[in-house]
Amino acid sequence: MGSIRFDDLQSERGYYRWLAYGQSKLANLLFTFELQRRADAAGAKLLAVACHPGYAATNLQGASARMQGSSGMESFWGMVNGMFAQSAAMGSLPTLYAATSPAVGGGDYIGPDGLGEMWGRPTKVGCSGAAKDRAAAARLWEISEQLTNAHYSFK
Domains and CATH numbers, the chain: 19-148 (3.40.50.720)
Question: CA–CA separation, 101 vs 145, rounded Å?
Answer: 31
Write the pLDDT tens digit of every residue in 96-136: 999 999 999 999 999 999 999 999 999 999 999 999 999 99
pTM value surpassing 0.75: yes
Res. 1: pLDDT tops 70: no
Write the pLDDT tens digit of every residue in 8-50: 999 999 998 889 999 999 999 999 999 999 999 999 999 999 9
Residue 32 and residue 48 in contact, taking contact as beta carbons nearer than 8 Å? yes
Question: CA–CA separation, 41 vs 126, rounded Å?
Answer: 23
